[in-house]
Amino acid sequence: MTKRIWLLNGPNLNLLGQREPHIYGHATLADVEAMCQEVAARHGLELVCHQTNAEHQMIEWLQAARKDAGVVINPAGFSYHHVPVLDALKMVECPIVEVHISNVHRREAEWRSHTITTVAATGVISGLGIEGYRYGIEFLAARIAGTAR
């Protein structure tokens, strides 16, 4: 049976490549998903990709993913004040990798470094651009295979 991992993206990431490219780069969300599909396929994993600007939709996907093999999530704006998203993340029983394209600790506004969702994550990747997604999937693949150190 193929193991399923989820790639979930929060608000405004549908405009990746257009929105503030000096911060987030020129790659689109489609580019991210294609890269991640390639990595997942190499490891024999099924990858489910979604993006939403709606909190309730993110919560539904997290509930659906909770017993699967893993979640890579860029909660974006949900990271800061969205307690229902945090609560849904806490219900997820599989490993969670939280990804931020920019280094939230070096951003202009101090509040960006205070992500409430991080407490529910197995690990966090921040500031490595879209490569952070790749590393998140590689980590989950190793964890699933039992080779993570």
Going residue by residue through the chain (149 aa), what tens digit of pLDDT does each one get?
A: 789 999 999 999 999 999 989 889 999 999 999 999 999 999 999 999 999 999 999 999 999 999 999 999 999 989 988 899 999 999 999 999 999 998 887 756 665 557 889 999 999 999 999 999 999 999 999 999 998 77
**pLDDT, position 148:** 79
**pLDDT, position 81:** 83
Which has the closest alpha carbon to 126: 88, 98, 95? Answer: 98
- Any catalytic annotation for residue 105? no
Q: Domain containing 37: what range?
A: 3-145
**pLDDT, position 112:** 55
- Any catalytic annotation for residue 133? no
Indicate which residue of 26, 100, 105, 114 is catalytic. Answer: 100
Dihedral sign (CA 37, 39, 42, 46): negative
- Domains of the chain: total: 1
H helix and E strand count, the chain: 6, 5
**Which residues are CB-contacts of 113 (< 8 A; sequence separation ≥ 6)?**
104, 105, 107
How far is the CA of 54 from the CAs of 31, 43, 148, in angstroms? 22, 31, 33
Indicate which residue of 22, 24, 80, 135 is catalytic. Answer: 24
Can you give the CATH number for the domain in which 27 is found?
3.40.50.9100
**pLDDT, position 23:** 86
What strand order describes the sheet that includes 123-126? 45-51, 3-9, 70-74, 96-100, 123-126
Match 């990746």 to its residue by tokens: 16
Joined together, the tokens standing for residue 132 give 């952070």
CA distance 115 to 76: 9
Which has the closest alpha carbon to 83: 103, 58, 53? Answer: 58
**pLDDT, position 67:** 97
**pLDDT, position 80:** 85
